[in-house]
């Protein structure tokens, strides 16, 4: 009995302890963007200067691997474990005291005696990730590990006073930083003993699906891609008149930028620029009356993706898909395990 109490006490003590280590950093995945004739010269330059070179420099900077810190945290479901992870972003030129210089993620994994598939989850536009964390916990309870990564300038990565609607000019470096952070998170997951290394997928929701499409094209390395409420032609999305993008559109118009001008400016961060490079199957989930991502934007992205794509259409507006979350998650689970 005394030994059992001691073990329980040690377990409770260990729960709050922070762990540290290093994980190896791989090189760029997929075919070289520099040789891709379907990418414009400006987009190829963007990839080289803001992704390939910083990744190469990071691999030289961390010969022993990228340092990381993790701390156990509470999971909501039974037989699920969770931890908070942080490590330095691979993006260059960020002040050390900038909250955005540190990548933060929460990782959930099921107790299992067999390797499990994993999804790297990217969240929606609003700076509130409670819904995604709930979904991650739910999926882990059903046997699929999930890491929810905070996108640049979100959650603990947002500096005081930073306002995303006024930050359109940082869209390109933000997309490149996200691709670098996603690459590093994927490498961390590949080094987890409980993970089935042949089933490392990506799950993006709304903004996360758009950012994930760009990252998956810049650095094709996922075995599957689940895109929830995604679309291409971001300039059309911004100027579509939705409540979520109205402030961004007004800010751009004050600077004398219309839809056509914006389309040219953001080509390096445009999903349609990169979709043809995605390897691995893609499963899309969209709603037919989406007031944020017009249907033609979704269909344009579906048509641009290079590999196998399956799309599920549901009735309703953008937020209404949450009502079908159980159905969508069941499909995502099957897709992640195929």
What is the number of other CB atoms lying within 10 angstroms of the CB of residue 119? 29
- The predicted-structure confidence for 55-98, as pLDDT tens digits, reads as follows 999 999 999 999 999 999 999 999 999 999 999 999 999 998 99
pTM of the model: 0.92
CA angle (60, 62, 68) in 5-degree steps:
155
In what order do the strands lie in the sheet containing 195-205? 19-23, 66-73, 80-88, 102-110, 145-149, 116-122, 195-205, 224-228, 282-287, 309-314
Could you give the domains of the chain? 39-337 (3.40.50.1820)
- The predicted-structure confidence for 205-263, as pLDDT tens digits, reads as follows 999 999 999 999 999 999 999 999 999 999 999 999 898 888 888 888 988 999 999 99
The percentage of the chain sitting over the pLDDT mark of 90, rounded to a whole number, equals 77
Task: Please check whether residue 211 is in contact with residue 204, taking contact to mean a CB–CB distance below 8 angstroms.
Answer: yes
């Amino acid at each position: 009995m005394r030994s059992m109490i001691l073990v329980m006490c040690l377990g409770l003590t260990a729960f709050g302890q922070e762990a540290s280590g290093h994980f190896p950093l791989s090189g760029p995945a997929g075919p070289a963007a520099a040789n891709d004739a379907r990418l414009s010269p400006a987009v190829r330059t963007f990839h080289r200067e803001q992704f390939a070179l910083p990744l190469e420099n990071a691999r030289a900077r961390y010969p022993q691997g990228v340092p990381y810190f993790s701390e156990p945290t509470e999971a909501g479901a039974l037989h699920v474990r969770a931890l908070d992870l942080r490590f330095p972003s691979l993006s260059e030129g960020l002040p050390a005291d900038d909250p955005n210089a540190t990548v933060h993620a929460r990782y959930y994994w099921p107790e299992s005696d067999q390797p499990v598939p994993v999804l790297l989850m990217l969240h929606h536009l609003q700076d509130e990730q409670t819904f995604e964390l709930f979904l991650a916990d739910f999926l882990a309870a059903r046997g699929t590990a999930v890491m929810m990564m905070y996108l640049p300038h979100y959650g603990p990565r947002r500096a005081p006073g930073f306002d995303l609607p006024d930050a359109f000019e940082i869209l390109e470096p933000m997309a490149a930083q996200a691709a670098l952070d996603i690459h590093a998170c994927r490498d961390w997951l590949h080094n987890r003993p409980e993970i089935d290394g042949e089933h490392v997928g990506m799950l993006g929701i709304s903004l996360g699906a758009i950012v994930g499409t760009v990252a998956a094209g810049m650095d094709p390395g996922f075995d599957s891609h689940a895109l929830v409420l995604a679309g291409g032609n971001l300039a059309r999305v911004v100027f579509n008149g939705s409540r979520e993008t109205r402030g961004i559109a007004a800010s751009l118009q004050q600077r004398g930028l219309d839809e056509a001008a914006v389309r040219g400016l953001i080509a390096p961060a445009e999903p349609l620029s990169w979709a043809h490079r995605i390897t691995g199957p893609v499963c899309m989930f969209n709603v037919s009356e989406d007031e944020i991502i017009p249907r033609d934007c979704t269909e344009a992205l579906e048509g641009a993706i290079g590999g196998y794509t399956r799309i599920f259409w549901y009735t309703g507006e953008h937020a209404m898909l949450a009502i079908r979350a159980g159905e969508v998650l069941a499909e995502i689970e099957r897709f992640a395990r195929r």
